[in-house]
Amino acid sequence: MIIPKLALRNMLGAGAKTWLNGAVLSMAFVTIIFAQGLYRGFDAEVSKTLIDAEYGGGQYWVEDYDPYDPFTLQDAHAVPAPPLRALIDAGRAAPILIVQGTLYPAGRVLPVAIKGIDPAQRQLSFPTNVLTASGDGIPALIGSRMAKSAGLAVGDTVTVRWRDVRGAFDAKDLEIVQVMTTTAQTIDEGQVWLPLATLREMAAMPGEATIVVLDRDASPVAAAAGWSFQGLDVLLKDIKDIIKGKTIGASVLYAILLFLAALAILNTQLLSIWRRRKEIGTMMAMGVTRGRVIGLFTFEGALNAVFAAVVGAVWGIPLLAYLAVRGLSMGANQGDSFGIAMSDTMYPSYSAGLVAGTTLLVFLITTIVSYLPARKISKLKPTEALQGRRA
């Protein structure tokens, strides 16, 4: 029990040095927890947006469909397999038909993916219900990015040209019934949403779909011939990989912060051992074993981590809590420049595991850098120490 008491007394006795170490270490603590929390929040936000707006509880893709290759769209359509039709009939899945087309806003040519969706679907959270609007033209829903690039607004009429299933050209006027604002540009840019029944009729593809989106709590069906299931792990893989890559990149920052903090601790320990060599010699002469002396200095160093955790908690908890509630403004449409569904304000998300893990990491590093200089004491002879010689 004597070692902890001695260590605590020595640490408190160090005064400004202890505060300096605590401040540097606490900054490392809080910064790491904040940055990791920001990535966690970012991951949660983007995943939720994509699940709500596009992925639902997973998707079935018709054979030949490749979302990254628009040239596959020509053949990527079929009547959903019976198990999928049963889910659709029960209102637990939403079929979406995708047809390649060309939009002619104000005489310009704009290639688009024309997407047909049931206005009454409940799987995706965007305003498909507006597609029931009855008017002269075909009701069309577009996103704000699409509206901007095409120069379209609610109430505008625009001609769309497409080819039906046999390759014959057709063209009709669409009426923009709503411009939706969404952070998911994957349901916005280069896309026009129409009522499913209308698009099926336009393309002469009765009952057909390109993808089927499941309810969030629906389980994949046993077998759907001609259709392949894409779970959220697959659909969100790209975004997870991006976030993972960014997290790894941020680790460099953590390493620099921890290195600086470790350097401060190491410097303190080296100075401490140098200044207290007579004390060390006395302790050894009184029968304190080398191991216990090493333990004392290592413990003193480790106490710095505990002190830093307390200091970090004092200023970090209110700051991190504030940021978690108010969020961090990223600027308007910053997500678009990254090509991901990121909202204008990011809300960091912290977990007990994150805080505990960071604390443990800092504690371990501090203990190791405290142990390394203390190890030298083992080579010191009590007589030399008492004379004030270095080991």
Partner 1 sequence: MSRSAILILIGALAASAAAFAQAPSAEEILDRVDRNAVPGSKILVSEMTIHGRRESRTIRAKSWIEGEDKAFTEYLDPPRERGVKMLKLGDRLWTYSPDTDRAISISGHMLRQSVMGSDLSYEDMMEDRTLRDAYEARVAGDEAVGDRPCWVLELTAKSGDVAYPSRKSWVDKERFVVLKEERYAKSGKLLKTLEAGAVGRVQGRWLPFEAVFRDALKEGGGTEFRILSVAFDAPIPEALFTKASLRK
The single residue among 75, 238, 241, 344 that binds partner 1, judged by CB under 8 A, is 75
Question: Is the distance from CB of 308 to CB of 268 less than 8 angstroms?
Answer: no
One character per residue 165-184, x = contact with partner 1 (rule: CB under 8 A)? -xxxxxxx------------
- Identity of the residue, 7 or 176, whose beta carbon is nearer to partner 1 in the bound complex: 176
Question: Is the distance from CB of 91 to CB of 122 less than 8 angstroms?
Answer: yes
Residue pointed to by tokens 């040519």: 109
- The minimum distance between CB 139 and partner 1, in angstroms, equals 17
Site for partner 1 in 333-352 (CB under 8 A): none
CA-based nearest residue to 351, from 363, 359, 340? 359
Task: Give the range of 68-76, 124-132, 213-221, 249-257 binding partner 1 by CB under 8 A.
Answer: 68-76
Task: Give the range of 21-29, 90-98, 162-170, 351-359 binding partner 1 by CB under 8 A.
Answer: 162-170
Q: Could you tell me the maximum CA-CA distance found in the chain, to the nearest angstrom?
A: 103
- The minimum distance between CB 109 and partner 1, in angstroms, equals 6
CA 6 – CA 272 distance, rounded (Å): 14
- The minimum distance between CB 136 and partner 1, in angstroms, equals 13
- Identity of the residue, 202 or 385, whose beta carbon is nearer to partner 1 in the bound complex: 202
- The minimum distance between CB 103 and partner 1, in angstroms, equals 9
Question: Is the distance from CB of 105 to CB of 92 less than 8 angstroms?
Answer: no
Question: Is the distance from CB of 94 to CB of 88 less than 8 angstroms?
Answer: yes
Cα–Cα distances (Å) from 86 to 63, 90, 207, in that order, read 19, 6, 13
The single residue among 67, 70, 295, 357 that binds partner 1, judged by CB under 8 A, is 70
User: Can you read off the two tokens belonging to residue 351?
Assistant: 């977990």
- The minimum distance between CB 100 and partner 1, in angstroms, equals 6
Residue pointed to by tokens 């401490």: 272
Task: Give the range of 103-111, 143-151, 289-297, 342-350 binding partner 1 by CB under 8 A.
Answer: 103-111
User: Can you read off the two tokens belonging to residue 289?
Assistant: 């074993």
CA 229 – CA 232 distance, rounded (Å): 10
Residue pointed to by tokens 């270095």: 390
CA-based nearest residue to 145, from 180, 103, 110? 180
CA 274 – CA 153 distance, rounded (Å): 75
Task: Give the range of 42-50, 164-172, 226-234, 238-246 binding partner 1 by CB under 8 A.
Answer: 164-172
Using CB under 8 A as the binding criterion, the count of chain residues that bind partner 1 stands at: 23
Task: Give the range of 107-115, 218-226, 240-248, 376-384 binding partner 1 by CB under 8 A.
Answer: 107-115
- The minimum distance between CB 188 and partner 1, in angstroms, equals 22
Give yes or no for residue 1 binding partner 1 (CB under 8 A): no
Give yes or no for residue 104 binding partner 1 (CB under 8 A): yes
The single residue among 148, 161, 290, 292 that binds partner 1, judged by CB under 8 A, is 161
Amino acid code (one letter) for 326 = R
CA 140 – CA 159 distance, rounded (Å): 11
The single residue among 100, 144, 267, 349 that binds partner 1, judged by CB under 8 A, is 100
CA 172 – CA 168 distance, rounded (Å): 13
Give yes or no for residue 137 binding partner 1 (CB under 8 A): no
Q: Tell me which residues touch partner 1 (CB under 8 A).
A: 70-71, 73-75, 100, 104, 106-109, 159, 161, 163-164, 166-172, 204
